Amino acid sequence: MSKTSDLSVALKNIQTEMKTLRSQAAEVRASLKAARANARTEKTIARQAKKNVAAAKKAERIAKLEAKLLAMKTGPVGAKAIKMNKKPSACTTVYQMAA
């Protein structure tokens, strides 16, 4: 009888050990799943931040180019503007027609 009782005690010990190992494995799987979800979230946040930086740079470039275009449209200021606004003399008109 002692031999069977020893075997049954050993079997019970092994069964309890298996239960604890299974529960530990389940905890590890759950932590891995949570870690993957966190990594995915962090990657998404980083990707969105990168897109925001790119959009800000693009808006800055557009604003700079629009300012440049507006400056080109206004025309010259000062002595050049005065010369351009004068009526051309008769000889200038003739030269312009010949060209």
Quote the number of domains for the chain. 1
- H/E stretch holding 2 reads helix 2-74
- Is the pLDDT score of 94 beyond 90? no
Average pLDDT over residues 74-99: 64
- pTM higher than 0.75, yes or no? no
pLDDT over threshold 60, residue 1 = no
Q: Is the dihedral of CA 54, 57, 63, 69 positive or negative?
A: negative
- Whether 52 shows a pLDDT value over 60: the answer reads yes
Ramachandran angles phi, psi of 19, nearest 5°: -60, -45
Domain that holds residue 16: 2-98
* pLDDT tens per residue, range 59-77: 999 999 999 888 877 766 6
The maximal CA–CA distance of the chain, rounded, in angstroms, is 135
pLDDT digits over 25-37, tens only?
999 999 999 999 9
